[in-house]
Amino acid sequence: MRAPRVVITGLGGVTPIGIGAAAIWESACAGRSGIGPITVFDATNQLCRIAGEVRGFEPGRYMPPKHLKRMDDFARYAVAASVMAVEDAALPITQDNSRRIGVLLGNNNGGARTIFRTVTGFNQGGPSSVSPFYITAITTNMGSSQVAIRLQVRGPNFTIGNACASGLNAVGEAWRYVREGTCDAVIAGGTDALIDPTEVAGFANSRAVTLRNDEPERASRPFDRDRDGFVLSEGAAMLIVESLAHAQARGAPHIYAEIVGYATGSEAFHIAAPLPDGIGVAACMQAALESADIRAEDVQYVNAHATSTPLGDVNESQGIKLAFGAHAARVAVSATKSMTGHLIGASGALETLVTAKTLETGIITPTINLDHPDEGCDLDYVPHTARRADVRYAVTNSFGFGGANASLVLRRWEG
C-alpha cells in the first residue's frame, strides 16, 4: 500500500524578525536582521550583550489571561505560533476529529527564564517565594501540553529535546506520524526562550556565541571569514503537517509544500564538535535523499544549519559537497540564521517555514553579512540579496550538540 502524501498547510511564528508567517517572510526576503542589544535583563556585566529578542509580542491575543500567568515564555510562544498555524490552515478541530490531530514540539531547555527568576527570588525570599505554578511552568512538555489545551487537540502529544535539531525533528516525526496513519494532521514545530543571564553567560563562557556587541545586526555572519560564534535568539515556529487526502477532503485553502523525505541520527562522536570533514552532515543528507527517493542532482536549494561558528560552517559546507558531489557547485545554499540568530530548539522549524515559502514563491532568501567568504566555504551562499530561482526540491538541515543531526526534503507543490 502506498504511503499517504504529506503536505504543509499552515504556518505560524513568533520570532526576532517578525510575528506571523507574512511578517517573517517579508523580513527574510528583505535581508533584515533581528539582532540587537539585550533588553530582557541587565546585560552590562555579560561578555555577550546582544541577542535576537522577540519584540512587539502580545500573548493575550492568542490565549486567555489566566493561562498566561501559568506559562513561561517558551510555552507562550508555542501556543501563539500554533494558533496562527491552525488559523492559516483553516484546520477545524472538533470533538470528532481531535484524536486524529497531534502536537509535536521541539524544545531545548523548558522554562529557563522562569527557573532563573524563581531561583533568584528563592535566594532572597526563601521557599514561600516560589509560585505554586513553578513546576508546571518549567516542565519541558508544557509547551506541547499548553498547545493541546488551548486548541483542544487530543491526539499524540510529545516534546522532542534533541538540542538544536529539536524543531526539525518535530516536523520530520510529524511527517512519519501522518505517513504511518497515526494522525491526519500534526501541529509541529519548535520553541525556546533562553535569553536569561545564566544561559547567555554559559554560551559565552563556552565560546559558542559571538562577542560582537558593538554591531549586533552584523554579528551573525555564516560562512564569512570573520565569523566568531552564533547569536542566541528566542521564539517559536509551528507548521500544520497534514495528509494530502485530508487537506483536499476538507478544502484546505493553501498548500505551501510537500514533505517527501526525512532522516535523523547521531554522530556518536563528541558533545559539541561535529565529525570531521562533514562526514556526519553528508550521511544525514544522503539518508534524507534516499528517503525521498531522489538524486542529489534533483535538489536546487539547501537551507543550511549555518550558525556562524568557525568550525560548524566549514563542516556543513564540506558535508554538502560530500553529499552532492559535483552538483554542490550548482546548488544555492543560504543561512536564515544570518538574520534571525539561533533560536535553538525552534530554529529547524523556522527554517522549514522559510524553505516552504521558498518553494511556494521561487524566492531564495539571502545570507546577509557575508562580506568575505571563508576559504573553506566555497559554495553559492546567495550573499546579501534574495534571488528568484526555479526551486523544485529543497533540503533543510539542523545539527545539534551531542551529534544530533536531521535533514528534511521538501518538494514544490505541483498538485
Q: Which residues are catalytic?
A: 164, 305, 342
Tell me the sheet residues that pair with 37: 50
342: β partners: 232
Measured CA to CA, the distance from residue 15 to residue 231 in angstroms comes to 14
Cα–Cα distance measured from residue 257 to residue 239, given in angstroms and rounded to the nearest whole number: 11
End-to-end CA distance of the chain: give it in Å, rounded.
21
Q: Which residues contact 94 (CB under 8 A, 6 or more apart)?
A: none
The grid coordinates of residue 341 equal: 540568530
d(CA 295, CA 278): 19
> Which burial class, exposed, middle or buried, applies to 316 when counting CB atoms under 10 A from its CB (0-12, 13-18, 19+)?
buried
Can you state the percent helix, strand and coil of the chain, rounding each to 5? Answer: 40, 25, 40
3-state secondary structure of 254: coil
- In angstroms, the Cα distances linking 415 to 5, 77, 249, 353 are 11, 33, 14, 20
DSSP for 45-104 reads: T-S--EEB---S--GGGTS-HHHHTT--HHHHHHHHHHHHHHHHHT----TTTGGGEEEE
Structural contact between residues 256 and 285, judged by C-beta atoms closer than 8 angstroms:
no
- Give residue for cell 543561512: 335
Query: Does the CA dihedral 213-219-220-226 come out positive or negative?
Result: negative
The span from the CA of 141 to the CA of 118, in Å, is 19
Q: Output the CA angle 105-210-282, nearest 5 degrees.
A: 55
User: What are the helix and strand counts (H, E) for the chain?
Assistant: 13, 15
Neighbours of 262 (CB within 10 A): 25
